[in-house]
Chains A and B, each alone.
Chain A
Amino acid sequence: MAMYDVANEYGTDRAGLYRPAISARGLVKRFGDVAAVDGIDLEVPRGAIFAILGPNGAGKTTLMRMLATLARPDAGSASVMGHDLLAAPHEVRAAIAMTGQFASLDEDLTGRENLVLLARLWGFRGRAARERADALLAAFELSDAARKQVKDYSGGMRRRLDIAASLVVTPGVLFLDEPTTGLDPTARQRVWRMIRDLARSGVTILLTTQYLEEADQLAERIAVIDRGRKIAEGTSRELKAATGSGFLHVALADPAQIDAAAAILQARLGHPAQRNVEGARLNVVAGSAAAANAGVAALLEAGIELSDFSLGSPSLDEVFFALTGEGPAAEERADATGAEA
């Protein structure tokens, strides 16, 4: 009986408030012969920060552009805030806001004029448009630069203005395409703080990033995509569990010993070692500090001299390695980037 009740509850939820903000099935986008997005399913719950993590050219931007009605899918279907992407693009547009990878602002105008322009396009008139612009400038700590032309803004200021420009009206879903790419650490922290704060207002945020740390810092749920396909999805904790809680990084003094060292580490730690011949480096899942310690000791016992070693959380490359058994394909990445641009 209890089981039945739970199922019933879910049914009610799905029809109402807990219907996902984004629901996509089998989305495909091709550019010539290259499938930039090659059949992706996505389910983003309302009110969450959801990250799409992947290397350059993995299809992140293309996926986001499809969901924001800027690119038409070649196959598959999706709904955003309950509106069908293909049948009702205008309704989707009214429910979303998108901050692209390249500042979507008019550089010749001032920050304030950019926001007033957008406020008027959304239907605020005269004084209301100016007040809305000023409120946004204040919230994003840009009041002092309000009357400066955007071309004189720093990278961080542009990003903040760009995000503010997406909040002229409260969006159902806010798309952020690589919100901190190219920013210095201070500016990045500031943008992160604002995104986190924003999520408290209940706005659903879908962001793309190539930084594991960023996804980890911001998102409740992360989808990892590579070469147009989703290769993993879960919470940050789940993904880390899949990749091992710790990664042992060693650098060899003598590159000729790399094969021997890889064999020893695999035997000792029970995971294959990822080789980086350039720089004679090896990365391997260690599981615990004690295990990492034992691995290093085994290398030293075998007479393999190390120039450096460390135990750290997995990098994006290592997540890929753990999930796919190989690193992100560099050449294909370059191709897909070209098609995406």
Chain B
Amino acid sequence: MAGLEDLYREIILDHYRSPRNRGELEVPPAHKVEGFNPLCGDEVVLYIDVDPETETVRDIKIAGQGCSISQASTSMMSSAVKGKSLAEVHQLTRAFKALMSIHESKLEGEGDGSDLEAELEGVRLGDLEALQGVVKFPVRIKCATLAWNTLQQGLDEAEHAPSP
């Protein structure tokens, strides 16, 4: 049986107790997006500032409330994507979901996942790997992915929003 230490790694608890990038950004130029986990009431609020010239996440701030996994994951996500190009963010998102055993290409029936492995080779997840233990607690996977799904939604919205 997977123990609590597999789920609640020290780095996760650290991000939960001292979340990084907490705060707000001015909207616009930043884009605000909210994500909810209706089952348990987790709530994630992101302020994303994308530089349209360089297609880079110039800044990101986080707010919200919820369980340690959802809030720590949000904090870790914000640190991981800040300053990264949108292409890198996309790769990180895919890599993180793969870590959570969610393979979108497999779900969509394209190929056997080996393309994904090739694509993700060399993607450095860093601290995010601490969340790997969540996979052993399937009920909590949606807590860990909430931040990333919200980020994806926010970037999609920002991309399709009329430029200021």
Decide if A and B are genuine partners: no
- Residue ranges of B at the interface with A (Cβ–Cβ < 8 Å): none
